[in-house]
Structure 1
Amino acid sequence: MTNTTPARYRSPGVLAAAFALSFGLAITASHAAEGSVEPQAIPPAQPAAETLSARQQAIPLIAAFMATSDMPRLDAALNQGLDAGLTVSEAKEILVQLYAYTGFPRSLNALGELMKVVEARKQRGIQDAPGREPGRVIPTGDELLAVGKANQTRIAGAPVQGPLFDFAPVINQYLQAHLFGDIFERDNLDWQSRELATLGALAATPGVESQLRSHMAASMRVGLTAAQLRQLIQLLAKHGDAQAAARASEALAQALATMQKQTQPN
C-alpha cells in the first residue's frame, strides 16, 4: 500500500503520542518472521565503552533541560557540549529530534536558545565547528515506510506490533515513516547520541516510565553499555534532577532484569 500521509504524519500531537506508545506497555514486540527489509545503510557498530565521552555526557543534560524548559541550565549544557566537541549541526539535530518527545514548542524554544549560545560564543571569539548536514538521501513513499520499519525493528529488538496497532494501524505508519524513516535516516547524528538524548528527555518527564525503561534497553541494542547508562544516571543526579535520576535508575534496573530473564534457559 502506498504511503499517502506525508503531511498529516507531521502533526506534533500525533507523533509524540505515537512514539510514546511504540515503546510503551500497550505494545508488544513480536519475534515472528517478517520480510527482511533493511534500511539503506545501518549505522556502523561502535566499540563498547565503559564511560561516556565528554561530548556524550552533555547530550542527556541538554535533553533533560530542554524537556523541562530550564533555559539557564540548557544554556550551560549547550556550552558544555560545544566545548566538548559537539558540532552545531549535532546540537541542532538533538533539539530537532526531541520535538517527537517534548513537542514543537519546547523544541523551537530550545533551538532559539542554541542560536543565542552560538552567537554569544562567536562574540567571545569561539568558532564552533559547524558540523555537516545529513548526507544520506531520504527515500519517499513505500521505500521510506520500509526503511523506517527496518530501523524501528532494529531499535526495538523485534517487529513492533500488538492490539493497539490492530486498533489504529495508521499510528504505526506515521511512526515508521516519519520518526524511524525521516528522522533516523538523517546521518548527521549517530544512534547512540539519539538514544542518549531520548533518555535524558524521558527521565526528566514524569509519567513516561514505561517508555524510559524501553529506551534503556534500546540504548544497549545500539551499543551503549550498562556502565555508560549508570554514568548517565550519575550525571542527572549531579547536574539535573534527583527525581529524574531516580526514574532512570529504576528503568535501567528493570531493563537489565528483563534482559537477564530473556537470556536464561527455559
Structure 2
Amino acid sequence: MKLLIIIPLLVLGIHAGGQIQSSAMQSERYQKGWEKLREIEGKTGEKVIESLQGISPDLGMFIVEYAYGDIYTRNALDLKSREIAVVAALTAMGNAEPQLKVHINGALNTGSSINELKEVILQMSVYAGFPKAMNGMNALKEVLHDRQQQGIKDKRGNTATKTKTDRIKLGEQEISKLDSQQVEKLKKAYQDFSPDLIKFILGYGYADIFARDNLDKKYRQIATISALTALGTAQPQLKFHIYGGLNIGLTENEIKEIMLMMTVYSGFPSAINGINVLKEVLAEREKDNSNR
C-alpha cells in the first residue's frame, strides 16, 4: 500500500518535457526560465530540453536557468524583438539550423507575422550572403509546414509595396535615414577605387531590401545589429548600424539588451566586443553633442 502512495509522488517530480526534478529541487531561476521557455517556444522548446536529458541534463538546466531565466525575463526588450534578433543572428551564423527552427517557431508565437520573418531572413542576404538566407528561408518553410500540420494558423502579414523610384536615389534616401553623412562617406572611401561597390550597397542593400515597407525600421536595425554582433567580423559596419539604430529610435538599453542576448547565441566574446562598440558610439555621440 505504501508503494502505491510513493509512486504518484515520484511522478509529480517529473517536469513537463521529461525533466526529473522535484519542485523543491528547482531553483527560482529554473522555475522562471521554464515558464518563459514554455511561453515563447511551447512544446518545441520542451522537446529541446527533453532531448538533452540522456546526454547532458546540466546543459538543459543552464539553458533554462541562464537563457530563459536570466536573459529572457529581463524587460528592456520585448519578446517579439528578442526573437527577431535571434532569428537574424542564427540565420547569419548559418551553423545552427535546429536552433533556428526553434526560434522561428518562437518568433511566430510572440507576434511576428510570416512576412516579417521572411523580411528578416531576406535581409540577412546583405550581411551573411545568399546561401545562408536561402537556408534560413527553407527553415521557415519547414516550420510553417509543421505548424500547419498542427492546425496552427499564423498571420500572413503585409507584403512589400513596390516603387518605381530610381534605385540609387532610393538607396541614398534609405541610408541617409540612418546617417545623413553616410552617402558622402561611401563616396569618399570607394568612389575612386570601387564605384560599383557603392552602387550595389545603395541599389541592393538599401533600395531593394531596406526600403521594403513591411518590416518596421526598428526591427530591421535590431536584426542587423544582432547579426553583425554574432558574426563578429564587421565591427565598422556594426558601429554604423548602432549609430543608425539610435538615430531611428532604438534606445541605449535596447541595444545593450541585444548584446546580452548574444551571450546565449554567439558567446560572451562577441557580446563583449559588441558592448565595446556601443561604448565607442555613445562616447562619440556625447562628444559631438557637447561640441554643438
TM-score of the superposition, structure 2-length normalised?
0.69
- Give the secondary-structure state (helix, strand or coil) at the position aligned to 1:74: helix
CA distance in 2, matches of 1:171, 1:239: 31
Q: Residues 41-190 of structure 1: matches in 2 within 5 Å?
A: 51-69=76-94, 70-135=96-161, 137-140=162-165, 143-160=166-183, 161=185, 162-190=188-216
The one-letter code matched in structure 1 to 2:157 is G
**Structure-2 change in CA distance of 1:139 and 1:178 (3 Å):** farther
CA deviation profile, 1:151-200 (whole Å, cap 9, x unmatched): 11221232423132232222212221222112122101111111111111
Query: Which 10-residue stretch deviates more, 236-245 or 149-158?
Result: 236-245
Aligned to 2:223: 197
Secondary structure at the residue paired with 2:200? Answer: helix
- Find the residue that maps to 1:134 and give its secondary structure: coil
User: 1:57-106 deviations in whole A, cap 9, x for unaligned?
Assistant: 11111111112221122112111111001000000111011101101111
Task: Output the amino acid matched with 2:151.
Answer: G
Q: What one-letter code is carried by the residue in structure 2 that aligns with 1:96?
A: L
Structure 2: gaps (5+ residues): 1-74
Offset of residue 239 of structure 1: 4.7
Question: CA offset at residue 150 of structure 1?
Answer: 1.4
User: In 1, are the aligned partners of 2:85 and 2:222 still within 8 Å (CA)?
Assistant: yes
Q: Matched residues in 2 for 1:105 and 1:167: separation?
A: 27
Task: Give the match for residue 33 of structure 1.
Answer: none
Mapped to 1, the partners of 2:281 and 2:123 lie a distance apart of 23
Identity %: 27
Query: How far 1:240 moved relative to its partner?
Result: 4.4
- When residues 79 and 217 of structure 1 are mapped into structure 2, their CA distance, relative to the original with a 3 A threshold, is same
Please tell me whether residue 235 in structure 1 is matched to residue 253 in structure 2: no
| Bigger shift: residues 82-91 or 184-193 | 184-193
Higher relative contact order (CA 8 A, sep 6+): 1
Q: CA deviation at 1:138?
A: 1.9
Cα distance change, pair 163–179 in 1 and its aligned pair in 2 (3 A): closer
Q: Which has the larger radius of gyration?
A: 2
Q: Which residue of 2 aligns with 1:23?
A: none
SS in 2 for 1:207: coil
The structure-2 alpha-carbon separation of the partners of 1:197 and 1:128, relative to structure 1 and needing over 3 Å to count, comes to same
- Which runs of no fewer than 5 residues in structure 1 stay unpaired? 1-49
Q: Distance in 2 between matches of 1:126 and 1:239?
A: 27
CA RMSD of aligned residues (A): 1.7
Higher helix share: 2
Q: Give the number of aligned pairs.
A: 214
Residue identity in the other structure for 1:132: N
